Amino acid sequence: MKNIVLFAGGVGGAKAAKGLYQSDYKDNLTIIGNVGDDDEFHNLWVSPDLDTLTYTLANEVNPVTGWGHKNDSCRILSRLAQFGSSTWMHLGDMDIATHIFRSAKRAEGTSMTAITRQITTRLGITVPLLPATDDTVQTRLKTENGWVDFQTYFVHQRCEADVTDIAYKGAEFASATPEVLAAIEAADIIVFAPSNPLLSIAPMLAIPQIRDALAASESTKIAVSPLIGGKAIKGPAEKLLQQMSYTPGNKGIAEFYQGLCDVLVIDNQDDGDIDTIESFGLHAHCTSTLMKSDQDKVTLMEEVISAATAYQLEVPCA
């Protein structure tokens, strides 16, 4: 069985993770999660992407939003608002329990890798979910009002601000964990989930050791476009790509993954983009990429692995 590594963040990344987790490839799967969204609220360290991945794999995610804990209450946040605290960052009560545990362990000096392993193990998740780094890397966006942290842009401003630059604070000096480097080295297929490239994937790629490890890896690397018909299913991906001077649509996705990936998976309705994608040196694979049901997730991700395997067979050995 081939070793598979999934780079994931956001709701799209969680859906892809769930598809692989419920597939025949589960036993050889490692998931690497984005930490660029991490920040502190109410003196608690919040890791939204890792938590969305965790709750999704544990069947505890809110099925309406795709993030947060299902059937959660907000009594703690309501009381904080009564006391006059800023509560625009939505944190449910069960979610806050996760943040309390994580923050206490961080204060003891426990690594993010070990903390995440403790959380996922207790919730019955049986595949490794690895933070991209144990160091702090935080996405920052430059808007007309200056630099803001990711959660301010994404949650408080609802992605409405015009962005002129993006930085991944701390990435230059961050180290990839031994677990992440070992997973990349052992991988036969590396998958980049249909996550926002600039907000969920790029923070991980900004870590030099991860970028170098990917360049050295002889695995087949395959990405799933987050766009269908030029639009993101959720979030500001197409808007942000254009603001960062990427070409609209899948051409911009191909620009982002050029030189990194071998294959780009796009939706059937975007088959007119095949020639453009292949002009960037990427092989294009068309299928239905919309994931509404759990079966959709499994079907898509199994086809992604099949497409990567077929590519391996087509490419002659060096």
Given a cut of 70, is residue 219 above it in pLDDT?
Answer: yes
State the chain's mean pLDDT as an integer: 95
Q: Which of the pair, 284 or 235, is modelled with greater confidence?
A: 284
81-91 per-position pLDDT tens digit: 999 999 999 99
C-beta contacts of 307-311 below 8 A and 24+ residues apart: 307/222, 307/263, 307/265, 308/189, 308/191, 308/220, 308/222, 308/262, 308/263, 309/2, 309/189, 309/220, 311/220, 311/222, 311/262, 311/263, 311/283
What pLDDT was estimated at residue 318? 44
Question: Reduced to 3 states, what is the DSSP secondary structure of residue 169?
Answer: strand
Question: Cα dist. 127→31, 66, 180 in Å?
Answer: 8, 20, 13
Surface-to-core class of residue 85, CB atoms within 10 Å of its CB (0-12 exposed, 13-18 middle, 19+ buried): exposed
Given a cut of 80, is residue 65 above it in pLDDT?
Answer: yes
Average pLDDT of the segment spanning 103-122: 98
> What confidence category does residue 117 fall into, taking pLDDT thresholds of 50, 70 and 90?
very high
Spell out the domain ranges in the chain.
4-314
224-245 per-position pLDDT tens digit: 999 999 999 888 888 999 999 9
3-27 per-position pLDDT tens digit: 999 999 999 999 999 999 999 999 9
Quote the radius of gyration of the chain (alpha carbons, Å).
19
Verdict on whether the full-model pTM lies above 0.85: yes
Q: Which of 156-170, 215-229, 304-318 has the lowest mean pLDDT?
A: 304-318
> What confidence category does residue 316 fall into, taking pLDDT thresholds of 50, 70 and 90?
low
For the chain, helix (H) and strand (E) counts, in that order, are 13, 14
256-272 per-position pLDDT tens digit: 999 999 999 999 999 99
Surface-to-core class of residue 245, CB atoms within 10 Å of its CB (0-12 exposed, 13-18 middle, 19+ buried): exposed
> What confidence category does residue 282 fall into, taking pLDDT thresholds of 50, 70 and 90?
very high
DSSP 264: E
Phi-psi region of 173 (alpha: psi -120 to 50; beta: other; left: phi over 0): alpha
Closest CA to 10 of 235, 254, 181: 235
On whether the CB atoms of residues 185 and 217 are closer than 8 A, the answer is yes
Domain 4-314 has CATH 3.30.420.40: no
What pLDDT was estimated at residue 235? 83
Average pLDDT of the segment spanning 106-121: 98
What pLDDT was estimated at residue 3? 97
Average pLDDT of the segment spanning 284-311: 97
> What confidence category does residue 315 fall into, taking pLDDT thresholds of 50, 70 and 90?
low
Looking at the chain, the whole-number percentage of residues with pLDDT higher than 70 is 99
